[in-house]
A = this chain, B = another copy of it.
Amino acid sequence: MPDLHRTITRKQLATIASQIVDSYDELGGINHPDGLNLPSREQVVSILRDFLALLFPGYFGTEPILRQNVTFFVDGLLDSIYIHLRDEVEKSLFYEWKLANRDTTDCPGLADRITIDVLEQLPRIRTLVKKDVQAAYDGDPAAKSHDEVIVSYPCVQAITTYRIAHELYLRQVPLIPRIMSEHAHSQTGIDIHPGATIGESFFIDHGTGVVIGETTEIGNTVKLYQGVTLGALSFRKDTDGRIVKGGKRHPTIEDEVVIYSGATILGGSTVIGRGSVIGANVWLTSSIPPGTKVTIGTPKLEVVQRGSRTA
C-alpha cells in the first residue's frame, strides 16, 4: 500500500475510533462504574461443563474415571465449581446492588451462602436427572440405551442446565441463570426459562424450537416434542403503555401430558389437565379438562392433475 494511502487510511480509522469512543459516552452500554464487571459468559459455560461432568461421571470428560479415584474426582470438581461459581455470583450481586445504590458489604458473604446452598442440591438434582434420562429412554422407541440418551440426546443438556439454573434463579442471582439457559438454548435449540417450575421425569424429544416461559408450571412425567411453545398470551400494559413485568403469564401443564410438535399453548390461566394429549400444530389459549385429546382439523386436500403442476 503506498504511503499516502496509508496516511489517509490511518486518518479515517482515527476518525471512526473517536466517533465510537464518543458514542460510548452518549449511548451508554459500557460497563460502569469502571472496573465493575458482569459475570463472564466463558466462565459460566465452563462451570456448567463441570456440573455436567459431576452429574454424569464418565460421560463428558476425556479421562476414564476409575472407581478408586472417584472421591478424588468428585472433590476436585466440586471445589472448582465452588470457587468459580462463588466468584461469578459475587460479581453479579455486586453489579446489581451497585446499580441499585445498595451497600455491597454483604455481597461476598451472600455469594458464598448461595453457592453452598446450590451445591447442597446436587444429590437431589442427580436423582432428578436420572429420572429424566429414564423418561427419555422409556419415551422414545429409537433410544437404544441409557448411555445413548446421555451422550446424544439434547434434552439431557437442556433439562440438566435448567435444573441447575433454576436453583440460582430461586435464590435471585441476577444474570447467571439466563446466561446458563441461553447457552443450553444455543447448543440444543431448547429454550427453558430458569424461572419455570418443572416436575420429575421430564422428556423433550428432538427439542429444536421448544420454548418454555418464565412462569410455566409443568407436572411429572410430561413429554414434549420439538417446536412446542408454552408462552404468554398477551401482556398487560401500564397507563404509559409499557408492558407490566412479572405475573403468571405462561400455562400450567399437569402430570402425564404429551404435547406433539409445533403445538402452541398460551396464557397464565391456561391449564392442560392431567393425562391430556395435544396434537401437532394445535394452538390453544384456554384450559382443557383432564384426559382430553386435542387435534387440529383434517387438512383441506387440493389434488392437482399431474403435468399441470407448475410449482
Binding site for B on A (CB under 8 A): 1, 5, 9, 12-14, 16-24, 27-32, 34-42, 54, 56-60, 62, 64-68, 70-71, 74-75, 78-79, 82, 95, 108, 112, 116, 119-120, 122-123, 126-127, 130, 138-145, 147-148, 150-154, 174-175, 178-179, 181-182, 185-189, 191, 193, 195, 206, 208-211, 213-214, 225-227, 229, 231-232, 234-235, 237, 242-247, 249, 258, 260-262, 264, 266, 275, 277, 279-284, 288-297, 299-306, 309-311
CB<8 Å pairs between A and B, sample of 27: A5-B112, A12-B119, A13-B78, A13-B119, A16-B122, A21-B74, A24-B57, A28-B130, A37-B58, A141-B235, A145-B174, A153-B182, A154-B185, A189-B189, A191-B206, A191-B226, A225-B229, A277-B309, A279-B283, A283-B295, A291-B309, A292-B304, A293-B303, A293-B311, A294-B299, A296-B300, A297-B297
Nearest B-chain residue to A5, judged by Cβ: B112
A130 in complex: contacting residue of B29, B60, B67, B74, CB < 8 Å: B29
Contact assessment for B82 and A59 in the assembled complex, using a CB-CB cutoff below 8 Å? no
Contact assessment for B62 and A40 in the assembled complex, using a CB-CB cutoff below 8 Å? yes
A64 cross-chain contacts in B, Cβ below 8 A: 31, 34-37
> With A141-B249, A301-B294 as given contacts, are A208 and B185 in contact (CB-CB < 8 Å)?
yes
Contact assessment for B277 and A127 in the assembled complex, using a CB-CB cutoff below 8 Å? no
> With A154-B182, A283-B296, A305-B291 as given contacts, are A42 and B62 in contact (CB-CB < 8 Å)?
yes
Distance from A281 Cβ to chain B, minimum over Cβ atoms (Å): 5
A300 cross-chain contacts in B, Cβ below 8 A: 294-297
Contact assessment for A57 and B31 in the assembled complex, using a CB-CB cutoff below 8 Å? yes
How many angstroms from the CA of A58 to the CA of B91 in the assembled complex?
Answer: 14
Nearest B-chain residue to A185, judged by Cβ: B154
Distance from A197 Cβ to chain B, minimum over Cβ atoms (Å): 15
A147 cross-chain contacts in B, Cβ below 8 A: 38, 95, 175
Nearest B-chain residue to A76, judged by Cβ: B17
Distance from A77 Cβ to chain B, minimum over Cβ atoms (Å): 9
Contact assessment for B209 and A189 in the assembled complex, using a CB-CB cutoff below 8 Å? yes
A14 cross-chain contacts in B, Cβ below 8 A: 75
15 extra interface residue pairs, beta carbon distance < 8 Å, beyond A229-B262, A237-B310: A13-B119, A16-B119, A30-B70, A31-B59, A32-B67, A139-B243, A141-B235, A151-B178, A154-B185, A189-B208, A191-B208, A209-B226, A209-B227, A288-B301, A294-B300
How many angstroms from the CA of A171 to the CA of B129 in the assembled complex?
Answer: 31
Contact assessment for B297 and A299 in the assembled complex, using a CB-CB cutoff below 8 Å? yes
Contact assessment for B79 and A13 in the assembled complex, using a CB-CB cutoff below 8 Å? yes
